[in-house]
Structure 1
Amino acid sequence: MKKFFYILCIAGIFSSCDNDESTAIVDQELQPEKISAFIASFPKSYSSIDPRLTYKFSYENGLLKKASGKIMSPTPGITTFMTDPYCLFSYNNDKVSIQHSEVEANGAVKEVCTMENGKLKSRYLYNGIDVLFSEKNYSYQTDKIVVYEKQYTWEYFTTYLFDSNQNLIKSEKLEKSGGIDSKLTTTFYSNFDTAKNPFKKLYLCNDNFYEKSLSKNNYRTVDYTVQDLQNPQFPPGSGHSDWTYFYDSDGQVILTWQ
């Protein structure tokens, strides 16, 4: 298997649906065949990442059929980008099945998603022995998406908030363990461009692509705080990241380097 290694002192990669678009409109969105791993997943502070390493995508009748490329963190401080792992997408009415060639970072080998009016409604994750171990449910309100996830004894409540331009500006993720509040992560997204979002059709690939797909345009700055709710005497952790994008003559993001 072809593998590229990068050792990074990195706390984490922002992990990894469209808030108000119909299927007909989504079909008119960009269909990128390649996106640099650097552009997709790393802020500009990690400029040592080889920009030639890319995710690859293929489509059929406007639908995503295959996505190749995967970022892994096998141990703390070590991040690898692997070009060979892939996932295959199959469609049957309101269901989308995703088969991964390797176990994903979230533990899934297979995923089954249900759609309603062109929007993601639920996502079921299965392990290598085809046992359901995690479920996500999505609900929609004006300028808001709420995601509920249950995995074993852990529960996650994530709320995404949008501005009047249909861009994601804030998310709040509450983690519960055994029914007890454990951690709250608050994230702010800002510094939007005016380019089309190349991740609109890639939201089922991973959590990072899902968050990037939510906005009409592309955010270039992320600030977050993390509160330990079981130890409120501890000061919150925080982080800041900036992305640098380059644009073509039409004002759209250049997704790969030659």
Structure 2
Amino acid sequence: MKKLLYLSLGLSLFSCSSSDDTIEDTPSPIEHMEKAYVYCTDGIGAGPSPQDYYEFTYENGNLTKVKGRFYPVFMQMFDRFFSEPITKLIYSDNTVRVREFELGGIPGYDEYRYTMNNNRPVKQESYHVKNGTARSAVTDTKTYTYEQDKLKNVHWKLAGSGDYEYITTYYYDNNNNLTKSEYLERIKGVDNKMTTSIYSDFDTASNPFKKLFLINNTFFEKSLSVNNFRKKETTVVNLIDNIPPKTSTKIWNYKYDVNGQVLLYFPVP
């Protein structure tokens, strides 16, 4: 899962399609979605692009391979999607290892090792693996805590002397849909920045991200609800300096099939 959170903090307004659009074809079962446009999942671009989509592979009901990934663009505050990179998920007892292989056969890969309990993450450790065997020291860790069977907090701590840590707190409504998250940045024990996101305009469709939550931060956030939020308002407040808050809004107008289920991949003219 990528560490950069540009997608959460960027200023953008986008939609996936006209809210009146429907597709007559019945999609693949939602728990085994095979493809998804980047535009409809991550909200990147002005519309669905035929070449910019994820491909998903499953075995025994588990997601095992993802084709497509974002990479940071040098000297820019955004990421660019590449359709070639492969991410593999390996399952063993209570552990899931997520391996992000590089473009062009570059040796080495990032690995995110999740300790699971009842198919939910309780801890994540990040490494870089060289030549398939030599593993770096842990670069960062995340711990997950739950209340009333829902995720309540994620504590992300970076290794090194910078003493950077990030604490996200989640809030839900009576329908078990995510309504708010608070993302606190703390540096050397001092609260530095708070990012608050409000989620609204939920549909009544099933959530197609439930098996994709280990892939990136955006999918993880979307997976936390029973249904699908279509509006997200984010406010960033600097807790140290007297800087005006920054606010952004994102809107998804998903396409739906005749059964009212979300379509993330469909024919593009």
- Counterpart amino acid of 1:235? P
Matched with 2:92 is 92
Among candidates 151, 154, 157, match of residue 147 of structure 1? 154
How far apart are the structure 2 equivalents of 1:95 and 1:78? 31
Among candidates 259, 262, 269, match of residue 250 of structure 1? 259
How far apart are the structure 2 equivalents of 1:204 and 1:109? 14
Matched, 1:194 2:204: yes
Matched, 1:135 2:141: yes
Matched, 1:31 2:38: no
Matched with 2:13 is none
Unaligned runs of 5+ in 2: 10-28, 104-108
Mapping of residues 47-66 of structure 1, within 5 Å: 47-48=46-47, 50=49, 52-66=51-65
How far apart are the structure 1 equivalents of 2:99 and 2:124? 13
TM-score under structure 1 normalisation? 0.83
For residue 236 of structure 1, report the CA deviation from its aligned partner. Answer: 1.0
How far apart are the structure 2 equivalents of 1:89 and 1:166? 27
For residue 51 of structure 1, report the CA deviation from its aligned partner. Answer: 5.0
For residue 79 of structure 1, report the CA deviation from its aligned partner. Answer: 4.0
Q: Is the 8 A contact 1:174 1:183 kept in 2?
A: yes
1:150-173 CA-to-partner distances (Å, cap 9, x unmatched) read 003210110111111111110001
Matched with 1:119 is 120
- Counterpart amino acid of 1:61? N
How far apart are the structure 1 equivalents of 2:216 and 2:195? 19
Identity level (%): 35
For residue 48 of structure 1, report the CA deviation from its aligned partner. Answer: 4.5
Mapping of residues 136-215 of structure 1, within 5 Å: 136-142=142-148, 144-152=151-159, 153-215=163-225
1:29-53 CA-to-partner distances (Å, cap 9, x unmatched) read 611010111001017xx42552552
Deviating above 6 A after TM superposition, structure 1's stretches of 4 or more consecutive aligned residues are none
SS in 1 for 2:99: strand
TM-score under structure 2 normalisation? 0.80
For residue 127 of structure 1, report the CA deviation from its aligned partner. Answer: 2.2
